[in-house]
Amino acid sequence: MCGIVGYVGPRQASDVLLGGLARLEYRGYDSAGVAIMAEDGVRVVRRLGKLVNLSGVIESEPVPGGVGIGHTRWATHGRPSEENAHPHADCTGRIAVVHNGIIENYVELREELAATGHVLRSETDTEVVAHLVESYYTGDLAAAVTRTVARLDGSYALGVVHADHPDTVVAARKDSPLIIGLGEGENIVASDIPAVLEYTRDVLVLHDDQVATVSAGEVVVRDGSGEVVADPELMRVDWDLDAAEKGGYEDFMLKEIFEQPTAIRETLRGRMGEDGEIQLSELDMTPEQVTAIDRVFIIACGTSYHAGMVAKTLIEQWARIPVEVEVSSEFRYRDPIVDDETLVVAITQSGETADTLAGVREARERGAKVIAITNVVGSRVTRESDGVIYTHAGPEIGVAATKTFTAQIAALYVLALKLAQAKGTLSDERVESLWLELSNIPDVVEAILADLDGLKECAAEYTAACSSLFLGRGIGVPIAMEGALKLKEISYIHAEAYAAGEMKHGPIALITEEVPVVVVATQGHTYEKVVSNIQEVRARGAHIIAVATHGDDEITRHAEHVLRVPATSEVLSAIPATVPMQLLSYYIAKARGCNVDQPRNLAKSVTVE
């Protein structure tokens, strides 16, 4: 997730671009750059690190001009560096491009371009766009961009400038956001509304496959076949700036909960090959090496540890490889049994968690191959592991992990399927049907988020609770643990999670009418057992909040509140069952007046032991 700004108008473009990028820095902040149409052609300035590094250079050496594009980067391909920072130029240096999204077929496009004499200088997927535009350009920039985007698989929001068109920015999008702020004699292209609010509240929303030619006086939108779109979508924004930065949501946490369909979709993107093979080159192992794996060890902390627990079920069930999951702080001091036939998976959204990094070193010293799953390109875990699988959730600002958790689970589904394929433990038909269902999970999450009836009312009833219990069975256990963690960390209500069958061996003593019990009761092979556990606590006065499947009428007889999720197969229920619990915690915390984005005593990345 990166931030894009483009400007055409009477002001100094560099001022508008830097101001707009500052408003978008929440979207990424490992490097930044601008391309300005100067008198002598396209001038590109890029700097590694936060935007302030770029602003400093431009302040001391201004680049005058009223047209330009800018970018703040959240790396997806290629480590954070000046060479990988956007804008990227073509061979002639007359074309510059900024991009947000992921171009899935960039490897084959790079090869094709290199074979026809193009010289690519960065490690990014984006650079191919500049060279494709160069190769298709015959005098009409919008037409060249249209031909270029037709060659791209994946997602993109693009801003393109060309020295031959010093008064124009061309913008295009598919599956990545892009809007155009419509000013008086000026227009501003941006990834998000906060970047344009200083200048206008009138916004054109670019749709998938549309290409816009933006000049100071007009915006012409064309569809993929080059036809002018007569009625592009226009809107007037009435949010204030603070609300706009949060996309109109009250808090980053709520925004990030709602970003989960995109985060999961982006993480799954490009993982299924046309040959039916799961694409996971990051594993960098031959089928023989995978076959030799006799054990998987997952290390992680907090929410990431819960994702690891979900993965245990997936990998054991699908690939039939035994999996151990351990919190990193224990693993590193426990003299663990790992060797060169153990695959160690380190899960850390930040990539900077001290205990997990220490666990990675420990495992590698013992000869294990370590694969990291992280959301942050270039983070320390990526430098210390043998391979990296990225989640593509975009930056998560709220301290409580939400979209990074479900994106981690999405990545772990992919890993489990890959291991199963390599081991030959699932038939091709089974992999295909699981993949189809998995690909539908973002839509399932969208459906949950579109129907919050009852959630706020349910939360309101338990605002005054002092203690709570979360129960589940099977894959529902880590989901219950994550639900409890969310509630305790943002609302400060004590929350304990237990395997439902274990509850009668102790925690049942805690049950009173004042202790709400949240139960993961989605359909599965232990559903009846879960219902029995509900009855056990209910008999002791507990109030039940059940997360259950649409169409399950029986559950209404056993629970005071039912939070519904669409039906999925049991093993794929982990993500859907998580979402209502995130929202429940959120609304309870809000009703208690808590700061959900920055809960007390917590930090987004825990870089100390």
Q: Would you please indicate which residues are annotated as catalytic (active-site) residues?
A: 2, 604
Long-range contacts of 359-365 (CB under 8 A, 24+ apart): 359/299, 359/328, 359/331, 359/332, 360/299, 360/384, 360/385, 362/331, 362/332, 362/336, 363/297, 363/299, 363/331, 363/336, 363/338
Nearer to ligand M6R, 85 or 401 (CB): 401
Residue 50: CB minimum distance to ligand M6R, A = 20
Say if strands 95-103 and 88-89 run parallel, antiparallel, or are unpaired: antiparallel
Nearer to ligand M6R, 419 or 487 (CB): 487
How many Cβ atoms are within 10 Å of 333's Cβ, its own excluded?
A: 12
Restricted to residues 373-432, the positions that interact with ligand M6R (CB under 6 A) are: 399-401
Nearer to ligand M6R, 351 or 474 (CB): 351
Cα(391)–Cα(74) distance, rounded to whole angstroms?
Answer: 12
> What letters, b where the CB count within 10 A reaches 16 and e where it falls short, cover 354-389?
bbbbbbbebbbeeebbbbbbbbbbbbbbbebbbbbb
Residue 346: CB minimum distance to ligand M6R, A = 9
**Distant-in-sequence, close-in-space partners of 498: CB < 8 Å, separation ≥ 6:** 469, 470, 471, 480, 507
Part in contact with ligand M6R (CB under 6 A); list of ranges 110-118, 342-350, 517-525, 539-547: 342-350
Position 345 contacts ligand M6R (CB under 6 A): no
Nearer to ligand M6R, 389 or 420 (CB): 389
Residue 448: CB minimum distance to ligand M6R, A = 19
Part in contact with ligand M6R (CB under 6 A); list of ranges 72-80, 107-115, 289-297, 346-354: 346-354
Task: Tell me which of 191, 213, 356, 573 binds ligand M6R, using CB under 6 A.
Answer: 356
Residue 40: CB minimum distance to ligand M6R, A = 45
Burial of residue 391, with CB atoms counted within 10 A of its CB: 0-12 exposed, 13-18 middle, 19 or more buried = buried
Contact 167, 156 (CB under 8 A): no
Residue 483: CB minimum distance to ligand M6R, A = 11
Q: How far is CA 274 from CA 270, 277, 278, 368, 573, in A?
A: 10, 7, 9, 32, 26
Restricted to residues 42-71, the positions that interact with ligand M6R (CB under 6 A) are: none
Q: Residues binding ligand M6R: what is the number (CB under 6 A)?
A: 16
Per-residue contact flags (x/-) with ligand M6R for residues 283 to 312, judged by CB under 6 A: ------------------xxxx--------
Residue 245: CB minimum distance to ligand M6R, A = 21
Cα(222)–Cα(517) distance, rounded to whole angstroms?
Answer: 54
Nearer to ligand M6R, 260 or 304 (CB): 304
In eight-state DSSP terms, residue 207 is P
Nearer to ligand M6R, 349 or 526 (CB): 349
Residue 401: CB minimum distance to ligand M6R, A = 4
How many Cβ atoms are within 10 Å of 506's Cβ, its own excluded?
A: 9
Per-residue contact flags (x/-) with ligand M6R for residues 470 to 489, judged by CB under 6 A: ---------------x---x
Task: Tell me which of 215, 439, 598, 605 binds ligand M6R, using CB under 6 A.
Answer: 605
Residue 265: CB minimum distance to ligand M6R, A = 21
Restricted to residues 503-522, the positions that interact with ligand M6R (CB under 6 A) are: none
Contact 180, 203 (CB under 8 A): yes
Position 348 contacts ligand M6R (CB under 6 A): yes
Position 149 contacts ligand M6R (CB under 6 A): no
- For every residue of 67-115, DSSP letters joined together read EEEEEEE--SSS-SSTTTSSPEE-SSSSEEEEEEEEETTHHHHHHHHHH
- Scanning 116-268, the segments in alpha helix (DSSP H) are 127-136, 141-149, 241-245, 252-258, 260-268
Nearer to ligand M6R, 348 or 421 (CB): 348
Task: Tell me which of 329, 349, 522, 526 binds ligand M6R, using CB under 6 A.
Answer: 349
Task: Tell me which of 84, 148, 350, 385 binds ligand M6R, using CB under 6 A.
Answer: 350
Residue 380 C-beta-side C-alpha neighbours within 13 Å: 14
The side-by-side arrangement of strands in the sheet containing 543-549 is 494-499, 467-472, 516-520, 543-549, 561-565
Nearer to ligand M6R, 187 or 304 (CB): 304
Cα(4)–Cα(7) distance, rounded to whole angstroms?
Answer: 10
Position 353 contacts ligand M6R (CB under 6 A): yes
Nearer to ligand M6R, 76 or 356 (CB): 356
Residue 339: CB minimum distance to ligand M6R, A = 25
Cα(257)–Cα(583) distance, rounded to whole angstroms?
Answer: 8
Task: By CB under 6 A, name the binding residues for ligand M6R.
Answer: 301-304, 348-350, 353, 356, 399-401, 485, 489, 605-606
